Structure 1
Amino acid sequence: MKLKDFDFRIWNNNSKTYEAGSIIESLGFITSVFNQLTYEKPTIDYEIELWTGYFDKNGKKIYEGDVIKYVYIFKHELLDKGMIKKLPKKVSIGCIGIDNFLGFRILKNKELQCFMKDIANIEIIGNIHENKELLNVRL
């Protein structure tokens, strides 16, 4: 992924919503523009979720914190789901909840590689903030 493709979203833990149209300032404030007025809010209780560089089968960007459904074929068709999450050390982004499957890694040339054989079978079904219960139920 190139810097021009870099994207993220911001979750507000206080209001339990995603911040739309926000800019992160270096001094620890988020600047939001609403009805052509600018508001500054401290970034004390916000979470930044990075875009993986991938899209799901419906063309939606897959961000850290998304809960995904993935259909894969291994002797028979299996359906599973998990959450996109930052992981330590060599693997930077993975999928938690799909048999501890580490779905992504960063290569030496800094490119993101996907281990899932057919990324076209990934579908975002929610996110960890608004749909936490999705990870507790097997499909």
Structure 2
Amino acid sequence: MREIKFRVWDNETNKFWHEGRNLALVSLVPDNLINDDSTVLEQYTGLKDKNGVQIYEGDILQHKASKFINFTVLFKYGCYYAHDTSEIMSDELLGSLNFDNEMTVIGNIHENPELLEVEE
């Protein structure tokens, strides 16, 4: 069974709350605190990159074969996807990618938005 973990990005302080809170701890947080524009709730995908780093929604991944395309992790249609923000490649299901030796977490959309800029 995969671990159910969350992290919460606080838009007001520009910091993550303590990462790795389990479902029970997050469920104790008042609903209005994590469902407004001041915070972003992101879930752990259950996957790790080639270095053993846990992959969460909002993380930015880099594939070893392409130093020029970075992917963001997003949840849609009931699945986690690696989304190519440059739109060169189509979205890939996270489970179909080989993380053990190909993907690396290089940042996240909150702290490292510059990693998503497309070089012309």
TM-score w.r.t. the length of structure 1 is 0.66
- CA deviation vs aligned residue, 1:50-74 (integer Å, no higher than 9, x gap): 11111111111000000001124xx
SS at structure 2 position matched to 1:47: strand
The count of corresponding residues between Structure 1 and Structure 2 is 107
Q: Does 1:136 align with 2:117?
A: yes
How many Å separate the matches in 1 of 2:55 and 2:4?
Answer: 12
> Which amino acid counterpart does residue 96 of structure 1 have in structure 2?
H
- Tell me if structure 1 keeps the 8 A contact 2:79–2:93: no
More helix by share: 2
Bigger Cα Rg: 1
- CA deviation vs aligned residue, 1:78-98 (integer Å, no higher than 9, x gap): 4432100112x2x52101117
- CA deviation vs aligned residue, 1:102-133 (integer Å, no higher than 9, x gap): 223xxxxxxxxx112x2221100000001111
Identity of aligned residues (%): 26
- Which of 12, 15, 20 matches 1:17? 15
SS at structure 1 position matched to 2:114: helix
SS at structure 2 position matched to 1:134: helix
> Which amino acid counterpart does residue 57 of structure 1 have in structure 2?
K
Specify every segment of 5 or more residues in structure 2 that has no aligned partner in the other structure, as ranges.
none
Superposed, 1:1-80 pairs within 5 Å as 2=1, 5-20=3-18, 23-24=25-26, 25=28, 27-28=30-31, 42-43=33-34, 44=36, 45-72=38-65, 78-79=66-67, 80=69
Specify every segment of 5 or more residues in structure 1 that has no aligned partner in the other structure, as ranges.
30-41, 73-77, 105-113
In structure 2, the CA distance between the partners of 1:17 and 1:27, relative to structure 1 (3 Å rule), is closer
Q: Does 1:99 align with 2:97?
A: no
More strand by share: 1
Greater RCO, CA 8 A, separation 6+: 2
How many Å separate the matches in 2 of 1:57 and 1:69?
Answer: 11
Please report the RMSD computed on the Cα atoms of aligned residues, expressed in angstroms: 2.2
